Amino acid sequence: MHRLIPKVVFSIKKKLTFPLHGNGKAKRNFIFSDDFCNGIWKIILNGKPGNTYHFSSKKYASVKEIIKIICKFKKTKYQKIVKKTEDRLGKDNIYKLNSDYTKKKLNWTSKVSLKKGIKETIRFYDIHYKYLLNQSMNFKI
């Protein structure tokens, strides 16, 4: 259920340390859930069965950068929340998706900036904290 951004927000709210694997150098592409849902809606309306559509922005950020942004918004010191750990075996340094086909065929693009998306996610988790507190923090497929 929860990935990086919500897990960091929860760690801050619960006053727990967050395990930072491999110094947080791995880069990821983040898009806001509304942008992703808009893309799924466009697939429903205009997608072709059997085609593959990728959703990503052109910007990549390291895990460390994301944590620092969250800490700034939550007025928490980065050093206070992070516990450096060994890198996970087999972890990719960067995940690159090319969404040019999706942008062209579905006229889709991500609209929410990284910082705005993080602010909105923090707001959501702050509002729904009591309910989400009882949910598992482990990602399940």
> Is the overall model pTM greater than 0.75, yes or no?
yes
Domains of the chain: 4-132 (3.40.50.720)
Dist CA 65 CA 122 (whole Å): 16
Task: Return the number of other C-beta atoms located less than 10 Å from residue 56's C-beta.
Answer: 22
Predicted confidence at residue 1, as pLDDT, reads 37
Predicted confidence at residue 133, as pLDDT, reads 77
pLDDT at 94 over 90: no
Q: With 0-12 CB in 10 A as exposed, 13-18 as middle and 19+ as buried, what is 127? A: exposed
Q: Tens digits of per-residue pLDDT, 32-66?
A: 999 999 999 999 999 999 999 999 988 899 999 99
Q: Which is nearest to 43 in space by CA: 54, 34, 32?
A: 54
Predicted confidence at residue 32, as pLDDT, reads 93
